[in-house]
Amino acid sequence: MTTNPPLISHPVVTRDRWLAQRKALLAQEKELTRQRDRVASERRALPWVKLEQDYVFDTPQGPRRLSELFQGKRQLLVQHFMLGPGWEQGCKSCSFMADHLDSIAIHLAQRDIAWLAVSRAPLAEIQRFRERMGWKFDWVSSHGNDFNRDFHVSFSPEETARGEVFYNFHMTPLSQQEAPGISCFWRDDDGQVFHTYSTFGRGVEVMMGAYSLIDLTPKGRDEQDMSYGMEWVRHHDRYGDAAAPATGCGCA
C-alpha cells in the first residue's frame, strides 16, 4: 500500500516547541492589529475633497447622478471594476473581489454604507456579465463620463504607450487601459458629495476576505509574485475549465 507524499516539506516539532514559536508570532500579530487600528484612525482623519462635478452614470433605472446613488446612506463605497468597452468578460481579479459583495451588503448598510461597482463598459455589457456571474449588487456604467479617468483607473492608449501612467498616486509602469481600485464618498444633507479616500494596487485586498483565510493555511496564496500574483484565480464559473486563462490583471 502506498501513500501520497506530503505536499510541503516542513519541520515537525513537539507541542511545547510549537507553542513557544506560536506565542512569539502572536506578539507580532497583536502589534500588526494595533498598527492597523492606528492607520485606520489616520485614514478617518484625512481631509475631504468636495467634488465639483456630479457625474451622471447609466444605470438600470436610467441616468443617475453620483449624489443619487447613495441609497439613502451618507457613505458610498465604489469598486472600480475593470470591465472596458467591448471586453468579453470582466477582470478575473476584480471578479474575485466582487464575489464577496452580495453577502456583506446588509452588514455595510447597518454602518450607513452603500456599495456599488463602476465600470467604463456600456451598461448592456455590464448587465450581460453581471447576469452570467449571478451577482445582485448595484453596478453602473461610466461610459459617458470622465469618472474613471478623473479617479485614475482608466487610461488612454496614448498614456499606456508611454509605458507609465499615474496610478496609485505615483507614476506606475502599466500597459493595460483599466486598473482596479476602491473609492469612498460622503454625501451631506444638502446633497453635496465629497471624496474621502481611495486605495489602489494591493490596497484592494481589503475586499478579498477569502485571502485572510487563505493566509492562515500552510500553502497560503501559493503565488509566484506577491505584486502581480493571483495566477490561481479564475472567474467562479471557470474553475476546472482547462481553457480558462491563468493570466489576467494583477494589482501593482
Q: What pLDDT, in 10s, does the model give residues 140-179?
A: 999 999 999 999 999 999 999 999 999 999 999 999 999 9
pLDDT band at 251 (very low <50, low <70, confident <90, very high): very low
**95 neighbors 204 (Cβ within 8 angstroms):** no
pLDDT at 252: 39
In this structure, is residue 1 part of a structural domain? Answer: no
In this structure, is residue 250 part of a structural domain? Answer: no
In this structure, is residue 116 part of a structural domain? Answer: yes
User: Over pLDDT 90: what percentage of the chain?
Assistant: 84
In this structure, is residue 110 part of a structural domain? Answer: yes
| 96 Cβ neighbours under 8 A, 6+ residues apart | 208, 210, 230, 233, 236
In this structure, is residue 154 part of a structural domain? Answer: yes
Which 8-state DSSP code applies to residue 191? S
**Segment 170-190 mean pLDDT:** 96
Q: Residue 1 pLDDT > 50, yes or no?
A: no
pLDDT at 222: 83
CA distance 38 to 49: 22
Domain count, the chain: 1
**Segment 116-134 mean pLDDT:** 98
| 214 Cβ neighbours under 8 A, 6+ residues apart | 220, 221
pLDDT at 228: 57
In this structure, is residue 232 part of a structural domain? Answer: no
Please report where in the chains the cell 456604467 appears, as a residue.
Answer: 141
**Segment 113-122 mean pLDDT:** 98
**More confident: 91 or 230:** 91
Helix segments in the chain, DSSP class H: 15-44, 92-98, 101-109, 123-133, 147-150, 157-161, 209-214
pLDDT at 229: 72
In this structure, is residue 183 part of a structural domain? Answer: yes
pLDDT at 240: 86
Identify the CATH number of the domain in which residue 155 sits: 3.40.30.10
In this structure, is residue 23 part of a structural domain? Answer: no
Which 8-state DSSP code applies to residue 201? G
Q: What pTM value is reported for the model? A: 0.91
CA distance 142 to 118: 7
**Segment 99-112 mean pLDDT:** 96
pLDDT at 230: 86
Pairing of strands 62-65, 56-59: antiparallel
pLDDT at 2: 42
Q: Domain limits at 200?
A: 49-208
Of 38-47, 58-67, 186-195, 242-251, minimum mean pLDDT range: 242-251
Pairing of strands 138-141, 113-119: parallel
pLDDT band at 243 (very low <50, low <70, confident <90, very high): low
Q: What is the pLDDT of residues 77-90, one digit of tens each?
A: 999 999 999 999 99
CA distance 236 to 252: 23
| Mean pLDDT (the chain, rounded) | 92
pLDDT band at 231 (very low <50, low <70, confident <90, very high): confident
